Chains A and B, each alone.
Chain A
Amino acid sequence: MSKYLLNKFLFTVDRDPELVERYRAEPRATVEWWEGAYANRILGCHEGESSTWLGFDDVEREALASHDYPRLFELGAHPFLILTLFIAMFERDHPPLGFQTEYARRLGHVRLPYPDIAT
């Protein structure tokens, strides 16, 4: 399991407006493309100096491909990254603060201690 790579996906998609829309519209295809093209890219290095070893496990890949943000939270992805990206994708479909309260409701079963987010 790679919390780091989950976070890297959320981080890199969230800062690119084109990828935000692509992930909203075609989550499974975007995750598949990203894992092949982006997962091993070291930010700040050129592509010839990429890493060689990073990849999702099946549970992580499915959580991302199905927009399952409660599952991402349970897997220990960083909540700030989850929230920011999913607001960007789905706030538009709700009344003001509607998505944020829906998000909290869908995580209502979670009790302290929350999943460890250390990477």
Chain B
Amino acid sequence: MAEVVAVIASTHHPFYYRANTATGEDRPPFADEWVRKVMAFRETLTRARPDVLVMVGSDHFHQLWLDNMPQFLIGKAPYYDANFYNEEREFGLPRMVCRGQEDLSAHLLREGLDAGFDLAFSNELRIDHSITCPIITLRPQNDLPIVPVYTNIFAPPLPRPKRFVQLGRAIREMVESWPSDQRVAIIGTGHLSLELGGPRQFGPHGPDPEFDRKAVEWISSGDIEGCLAEVTLDSLHLPGNATHGFMDFMLMMGVAGDGRKADYVDTYDLFHTMEAYFTWFPDGGGRS
């Protein structure tokens, strides 16, 4: 059976690529430390020596639209073109092509449906920065096949937080039941407190540093029950109007396991939002 060799959760700050590649006067003062932190974070994936990446993210009204909005969707395609015109325009992101792993996609779809998750699928999916940002930060050589898993954190009505946790637990079980000798890393990105298109956006920090502090503690300690006791669809409006993306972190807590402390934790307080990086090594050290 396949082995989960790393579980990784992070934010997906779309300006990292531009900050990392900027030079001279265009390079922001926070870029060097940001790059240093990302390089250290990248090492946690490298050390796990994965063969395949399951990538959990959320389309930001790029391909998926209100005329046909899935709650949970698995990509099943041999290739995935990536990034959209408005992401190139606003964030300076490059066009990319990622290879797919259709066997694992098919396995997740079949097992997920049989486990009670009514998963949508796509045979022609163009992925956006929720998945390409972690490729850029964690695997910039883009040499591994991926399975995209999209969640709806964007267009109400949304699934409840508990459902994200349940899907995360199921994804972990399904990957481990995949009849393959492949080493799989499960990577997901979400938001801490975040405001987009509202009055609290683009401040010197994220809109709710206290929520960020609690969120990092929940994630790093694997405190799923404590998190579920405080986080609801209604409560997530309070730290910022885009904070529902935190549910993708909750999904990743489900993947990592109840009470499972992260083996690697780092944060970076930037304007607009807090960056956060977490890695769990199921074998305890990522040295297998």
> Using Cβ atoms and an 8 Å threshold, which residues of chain B touch A82?
197
Contact: A4 with B197, CB < 8 Å? no
> Using Cβ atoms and an 8 Å threshold, which residues of chain A touch B66?
4, 7-8, 11, 119
Which residue on chain B has the smallest CB distance to residue A16?
Answer: B85
Most buried by B among A43, A84, A113: A84
Contact: B197 with A79, CB < 8 Å? yes
Cα distance, A104 to B271, chains bound together (Å): 14
Contact: B65 with A11, CB < 8 Å? yes
Which residue on chain B has the smallest CB distance to residue A84?
Answer: B86
Question: Using an 8 Å CB-CB cutoff, how does the interface string of A33-71 with B read, 1 for contact, 0 for none?
Answer: 000000000111000000000000000000000000000
Which residue on chain A has the smallest CB distance to residue B156?
Answer: A118
Question: Using an 8 Å CB-CB cutoff, how does the interface string of A75-119 with B read, 1 for contact, 0 for none?
Answer: 000111111100110000000010011011101111011101111
Contact: A84 with B90, CB < 8 Å? yes
Consensus secondary structure, chain B interface = loop
Question: Using an 8 Å CB-CB cutoff, how does the interface string of B195-208 with A read, 1 for contact, 0 for none?
Answer: 01111111100000
Interface residues on B, range: 20 to 34
Most buried by A among B86, B199, B238, B241: B199
Which residue on chain A has the smallest CB distance to residue B154?
Answer: A80
A104 contacts which of B154, B199, B238 (Cβ < 8 Å)?
B199
> Using Cβ atoms and an 8 Å threshold, which residues of chain A touch B200?
104
Which residue on chain A has the smallest CB distance to residue B203?
Answer: A104
Q: Contacts A4-B66, A79-B197; is A119 near B90 (CB within 8 Å)? A: no
Contact: B85 with A80, CB < 8 Å? no
Minimum C-beta distance from B234 to chain A (A) = 9
Cα distance, A55 to B197, chains bound together (Å): 24
Consensus secondary structure, chain A interface = helix
Contact: A83 with B157, CB < 8 Å? no
Is there a chain A Cβ closer than 8 Å to B60's Cβ? yes
List 9 additional A-B contacts (Cβ < 8 Å) besides A79-B241, A100-B201, A119-B155.
A7-B66, A15-B84, A73-B197, A78-B61, A79-B242, A80-B242, A83-B197, A88-B90, A110-B198
A-binding residues in B (CB < 8 A): 60-62, 65-67, 84-86, 89-90, 154-157, 196-203, 237-238, 241-242, 271
B-binding residues in A (CB < 8 A): 4, 7-8, 11, 14-15, 17, 42-44, 73, 78-84, 87-88, 97, 100-101, 103-105, 107-110, 112-114, 116-119
**Sampled A-B contacts (28; CB under 8 Å):** A8-B66, A11-B65, A14-B86, A15-B86, A17-B85, A78-B155, A79-B197, A79-B242, A80-B154, A81-B197, A82-B197, A83-B196, A87-B90, A88-B86, A88-B90, A97-B202, A100-B202, A103-B201, A104-B199, A104-B202, A104-B203, A105-B199, A109-B199, A110-B199, A112-B237, A116-B156, A119-B155, A119-B156
